[in-house]
Amino acid sequence: MKLFDVYPVNDITITKAQGSTVWDDQGNPYLDLYGGHAVISIGHTHPHYVQRLTDQLNKVGFYSNSIHIPLQQQLAEKLGKVSGKEDYQLFLVNSGAEANENALKLASFYNGKKKIIAFKKAFHGRTSLAVAATDNPKIVAPVNETDNVVFLPWEDLAALEAAFDKYEVSSVIIEGIQGVGGINVASAAFLQKIRSLCDQHNAVFIADSVQCGYGRSGKFFSHDHAGVDADIYTMAKGMGNGFPIGGIIIAPKFRPSYGMLGTTFGGNHLACAAALAVLEVIEKENLIANAENVGNYLMDELRKFPEVKEVRGKGLMIGIELPEELAHVRKELLFKYRIFTGEAKPNVIRLLPSLALTKDQADQFLTAFKQALKPVHA
Ligand SMILES: Cc1ncc(COP(=O)(O)O)c(C=O)c1O
């Protein structure tokens, strides 16, 4: 059987990983500033994480949501404490798309309305409603097309007000920092406007924190920078440091009922153990503060390069926009300097490293980046 060939891959096979370093099958080390797409939050194969998962696997790996799973309550308590949203309720799923799917559905159950406001360049996942709220027609199949989603321009407060006047809005879904869209940071004024319009119109504010959440921005949720509380936060990626787990946290005003939401795998023993290990390490090693400090350092240094058009982001979610003639730099970083980074169109290098990235590793990147830019001066 062949694989269904949907991924354009780099010709590299990783066989070992530790912290922010991965090794290929020839034994070559690479600095990982991509984290497998913002997934590696506490570092590869962190000893506490490995131990907790191993111990759990030796006890019970999986049972369904038809019995008590005390790890879920422990996770809810820990997540409430670390995120500061202690009065919210947790529902566990398996991926980012599934988290958004459930958030959009729950919003509609809550207020009985249908219209969803999403934004230009948004990415919310590939399942039916999540992909319909994603601004990329190429990945929306005819069966996913719906009139229930309206796309508005980013940061356009007047368009937002007009949409609330025109439609019966069920929910507004927004990444605090757009990831796939090229690292675009939502301003505090924009997020505050969404909050107040949602309050006025009984609409639900959904904070997609799948990529920009879990401490990456220097606060637990990137929306926290605006000083507003969303009604539902969606999470995945960094939550399990590579173990598939997602979740939504839900404000107290939402009342659950049996059967309203559900999943076979969501919240299983192993996934909860992974997520608990991640939060324990984030707390013990002060990784949110580290993300802020090392991120600020990186952004300050990157802004000094005259070749760079713009540096955007917060904490360790950084976009480096380069001019067209430097489109080769990302590949060069990977194949010449052995540094993994992410990309976004048209020509943005995305840095999404572990929150435990050190200043020395940041310097290692800056040195290589400087070299990779060089041909421009030749
Ligand atoms: C902001 C955002 N939301 C949702 C998703 C979808 O997550 P998943 O691939 O786990 O379904 C992604 C994935 O990149 C994302 O960046």
pLDDT at residue number 346: 85
Residue 264 clears pLDDT 70, i.e. is over it: yes
Task: Look at domain 47-284 and name its CATH class.
Answer: alpha beta
pLDDT at residue number 374: 86
The preferred substitution site among 210, 221, 248, 343 for testing ligand 1, maximizing ligand atoms within 8 Å of CB, is 210
Q: Which residues pair with 250 in a beta bridge?
A: 89, 232
Q: Which CATH number fits domain 286-319+329-378: 1.10.287.1080, 3.40.50.10190, 3.30.460.80, 3.90.1150.10?
A: 3.90.1150.10
Residue 49 clears pLDDT 70, i.e. is over it: yes
Ligand 1 pocket list (CB less than 6 A): 95-97, 100, 123-125, 175, 179-180, 208, 210-211, 236
Q: Whose CA is nearest to atom 4 of ligand 1?
A: 124
What's the chain's average pLDDT?
97
Instruction: Collect all residues with Cβ–Cβ distance below 8 Å to 175 and sequence separation of at least 6.
Output: 122, 123, 124, 181, 186, 208, 209, 210, 211, 212, 222
Confidence class of residue 375 from pLDDT cuts 50, 70 and 90?
A: low
Residue 19 clears pLDDT 80, i.e. is over it: yes
Instruction: Collect all residues with Cβ–Cβ distance below 8 Å to 193 and sequence separation of at least 6.
Output: 157, 160, 161
Instruction: Give the number of other CB atoms < 10 A from CB of residue 259.
Output: 6
* Burial category of 308 from C-beta neighbours within 10 Å (exposed 0-12, middle 13-18, buried 19 and up): middle
Confidence class of residue 378 from pLDDT cuts 50, 70 and 90?
A: very low
pLDDT at residue number 65: 97
Give the CA-trace dihedral at 160, 229, 201, 171, to 10 degrees: 70
Q: Which residues pair with 169 in a beta bridge?
A: 115
Residue 376 clears pLDDT 80, i.e. is over it: no
pLDDT at residue number 274: 98
Digit-coded pLDDT (tens) for 237-257: 999 999 999 999 999 999 999
Residue 219 Cα, ligand 1 centroid: separation in angstroms? Answer: 19
pTM, rounded to two decimals: 0.98
Q: Would you call 170 helix, strand, or coil by DSSP? A: strand
Question: Domain extents for the chain?
Answer: 47-284, 286-319+329-378
Helix %, strand %, coil % for the chain, to 5? 40, 20, 40
Q: Which residues pair with 186 in a beta bridge?
A: none
Average pLDDT over residues 145-164: 98
For residue 198, the number of C-alpha atoms closer than 13 Å in the C-beta half-sphere is 25
